[in-house]
Amino acid sequence: MPQHPLAFCGLPNSKADYGRAPTVILPVPFDKTSTWQKGADKGPAAILEASANIEFYDIETDSEVFKKGIYTANPIHAASPSVLIKKTDSEASRYLKDGKLVVTLGGEHSVSIGVIRAYARRYRDLSVLHLDAHADSRDSYEGSPYNHACVIARVRECTKNIVSVGIRSMDASERPAIDSKRMFFAHEIYDSDKWIESVVLLLTGTVYITIDLDVFDPGIMPSTGTPEPGGLGWYQVMKLLSSVSRAKRIVGFDVVELCPSNLRAPDFLAAKLIYTLLSHIDVNKGVGRCRRENR
């Protein structure tokens, strides 16, 4: 199977072979509907380049997940959001059929829609953990239902089991669609970790995680298309993700909306986030345990 010339973590072919790797990195350099700072299409390449500088040993989990194998696929390109959704749905479905855990690299947030559709068909009890600064619940924006501001509205068509964390910006039109019990606003959780247990309890046994990097405070993640002040810190996010990985089965995730600048640290944060989350998944449940579950 064709392999991306930039392997995640700079892994040699022996550790990046599709047949042995339980994890697939799927780059989707798409940026057609973003509404402020452009450049999210450069995100996947920046993440892959930065990942070559990651230390393989993860301190928190006392593990080296790279030894299991991580395959990096060729990027998906599309001229429009509707075409993109079909392509990502098809590609993710193929990987899921082979029992892989898919990690999608955006790209703007609309790259998540097709992948989550594929996951929702595969897992009957799927819930989605949504980390973001924005609610992304508009039914349509700038004439498109597939705008990056409409992602969660489209995900609700696949599953109602959605929990959003870190939200601090939304339009009044989005409010009626919001379940307040399943939305954790940034201003309500910034000074405590007690909310993490509540998030975990709301999730089903099988979880997909979509991470818009603007969930982080712009002090540590300034390289996003739509930054918002007052975001979460690294250890808050990692405590949440490690808690979910212990209690639930994380079957896939995406990291989106990196808009590379002349700063290297944000690119590395995104790459490290991916590797650390994979480490937690592997230690707690195993990255190679994605199995077929049809509706």
Please state the length of the chain.
295
Q: At what angle do helices 234-247 and 265-284 cross, to 10 degrees?
A: 20
Q: Reply yes or no on whether the pLDDT at 295 is more than 50.
A: no
**Which of helix, strand or coil describes residue 70?**
strand
Q: Reply yes or no on whether the pLDDT at 95 is more than 80.
A: yes
Q: Does a structural domain hold residue 58?
A: yes
> What total of structural domains would you count in the chain?
1
The enclosing domain of 83 has a CATH number of 3.40.800.10
Q: Give pLDDT tens digits for 104-125.
A: 999 999 999 999 999 999 999 9
Q: Does a structural domain hold residue 249?
A: yes
**Which of helix, strand or coil describes residue 81?**
helix
Give me the domain span that covers residue 193.
8-284
Q: Give pLDDT tens digits for 190-218.
A: 999 999 999 999 999 999 999 999 999 99
Query: 119 vs 32, which has greater pLDDT?
Result: 119
What is the rounded distance in angstroms from the CA atom of residue 139 to the CA atom of residue 8? 35
Give the pairing of strands 183-185 and 101-106.
Answer: unpaired
∠ CA 45-109-249, nearest 5°, is: 90
∠ CA 231-72-53, nearest 5°, is: 60
∠ CA 89-90-93, nearest 5°, is: 85
Q: Does a structural domain hold residue 291?
A: no
Q: Does a structural domain hold residue 292?
A: no
Q: Does a structural domain hold residue 295?
A: no
Q: Does a structural domain hold residue 294?
A: no
Q: Give pLDDT tens digits for 212-268.
A: 999 999 999 999 999 999 999 999 999 999 999 999 999 999 999 999 999 999 999
Q: Does a structural domain hold residue 279?
A: yes
Q: Does a structural domain hold residue 156?
A: yes
